[in-house]
């Protein structure tokens, strides 16, 4: 045992917690009693600009009614994994509609988007495989790459959106089976990947392109074939669709392999019928005139805060952790919940406020946010 490491678990646990506290990075969840953007936090009524419920569908009457009907028919849980009779008709119906929505041959449900990335990358990863991953990809992709590496794959991380480095890395591994994996919209910066260019590079080397579409509410759905490469889409039901779960959409041959190989599909309880029914109802809304109106409203709100920004995730980078925490507290005192994002979620020196907009925000709430942000700028951030 190292001299610097305690030999018993209780001492180690206390020391680890103390090290987080001493670095001023201690975090704990807060209870937010809300149904939509407005709720009660620590006894105060606040408007949340922290949620990824981009279209406000968590509170949509049709989405809630679908979940309630599913509970009446199938109960609150699925009771088993999909392959041990945990599958319900609603799961299969949702998978069919996910595939139609995403324009692919097939789709498969996972308990979360995190589990979808883990299962997909671990299944694809093995000897003779090289996975290229953007350095700012979501933690679920990073952990999926780790699992792929443990299965024998080589993982190369390229600088954020650096297509030249990616091209050089792919050229030097041209004899391998290659995968490029990227967020389509990055969750902390709200910027977007150059998908057409990535697809062209993948086509040159017969590589798979995996797109994590979790935050791509304003982005067009990418065709499953682009520039001659195959695109595999990973998504979540918990953001644009306002429910809970994840999916992989792509060729049937890939989906069939995931059903038989992905450990995060095989060895976990199936998603609840209520969540699956809610997601199915949300897809129907999304593809209707109402869905188009919700996206238009969201687009308009984004433009009011930051014109032409490509997503509802708007970072206000302050750099210093203390400055970000102070700014978040100032906004909270004005009844606005805008979280401070700091390391290890973002790199040191890039602490920020992360504004997440929703179609459910009213014009008055956007006005209040704009006024408060202008005050922060006047005060020097």
**What mean pLDDT do residues 59-70 have?**
98
Give yes or no for residue 64 having a pLDDT over 80: yes
C-alpha Rg value of the chain to the nearest Å = 22
- Angstrom distance (rounded) from CA 177 to CA 153: 10
E strands present in 200-327: 208-212, 225-226, 229-236, 246-250, 313-319
**What mean pLDDT do residues 97-105 have?**
97
The rounded Cα 197 to chain-centroid distance in angstroms is 22
Give yes or no for residue 218 having a pLDDT over 70: yes
Give yes or no for residue 191 having a pLDDT over 60: yes
* Domain at 61-286: CATH code: 3.40.640.10
Judge whether 35 and 57 are in contact, CB under 8 Å.
Answer: no
Give yes or no for residue 3 having a pLDDT over 70: no
Give yes or no for residue 377 having a pLDDT over 70: no
pLDDT of residue 378: 45
Using pLDDT thresholds of 50, 70 and 90, give the confidence band for residue 227: confident
- Angstrom distance (rounded) from CA 240 to CA 356: 12
pLDDT digits (tens, 9 = 90+) for 290-345: 999 999 999 999 999 999 999 999 999 999 999 999 999 999 999 999 999 999 99
**Global pTM value:** 0.95
Q: Return residue ranges of the chain for CATH 3.40.640.10.
A: 61-286
> Quick one: fold of 31-54+312-378?
3.90.1150
pLDDT of residue 24: 86
Q: Return residue ranges of the chain for CATH 3.90.1150.10.
A: 31-54+312-378
Residues with catalytic roles: 187, 215, 239
Judge whether 184 and 221 are in contact, CB under 8 Å.
Answer: no
């Amino acid at each position: 045992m190292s001299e610097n490491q305690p030999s018993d678990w209780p001492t180690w646990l206390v020391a680890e917690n103390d090290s987080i506290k001493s670095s001023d990075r201690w975090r704990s969840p807060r209870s937010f009693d809300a149904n939509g953007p407005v709720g009660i936090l620590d006894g105060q009524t606040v408007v949340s600009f922290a949620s990824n419920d981009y279209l406000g569908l968590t509170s949509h009457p049709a989405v809630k009614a679908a979940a309630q009907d599913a509970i009446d028919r199938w109960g609150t849980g699925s009771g088993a994994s999909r392959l041990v009779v945990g599958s319900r008709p609603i799961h299969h119906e949702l998978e069919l509609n996910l595939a139609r929505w995403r324009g692919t041959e097939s789709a498969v449900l996972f308990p979360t988007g995190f589990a979808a990335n883990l299962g997909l990358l671990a299944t694809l990863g093995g000897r003779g495989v090289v996975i290229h991953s953007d350095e700012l990809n979501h933690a679920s992709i990073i952990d999926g790459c780790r699992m792929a590496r443990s299965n024998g794959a080589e993982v190369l991380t390229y600088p954020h959106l650096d297509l030249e480095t990616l091209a050089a890395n792919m050229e030097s591994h041209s004899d391998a089976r290659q995968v490029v994996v990227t967020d389509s919209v990055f969750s902390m910066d709200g910027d977007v990947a150059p998908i057409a260019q990535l697809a062209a590079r993948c086509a040159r080397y017969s590589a798979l392109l995996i797109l994590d579409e979790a935050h791509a509410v304003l982005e067009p759905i990418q065709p499953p074939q682009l520039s001659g490469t195959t695109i595999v889409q990973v998504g979540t039901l918990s953001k644009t669709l306002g429910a809970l779960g994840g999916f992989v959409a792509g060729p049937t041959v890939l989906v069939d392999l995931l059903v038989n190989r992905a450990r995060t599909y095989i060895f976990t309880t199936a998603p609840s019928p209520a969540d699956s029914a809610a997601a199915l109802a949300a897809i129907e809304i999304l593809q209707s005139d109402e869905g188009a109106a919700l996206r238009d409203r969201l687009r308009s709100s984004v433009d009011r805060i930051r014109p032409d920004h490509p997503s509802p995730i708007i970072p206000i980078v302050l750099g210093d952790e203390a400055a970000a925490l102070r700014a978040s507290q100032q906004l909270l005192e004005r009844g606005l919940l805008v979280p401070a994002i700091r390391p290890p979620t973002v790199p040191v020196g890039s602490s920020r406020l992360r504004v997440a907009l929703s179609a459910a925000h009213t014009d008055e709430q956007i006005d209040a946010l704009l006024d408060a942000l202008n005050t922060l700028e006047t005060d020097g951030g």
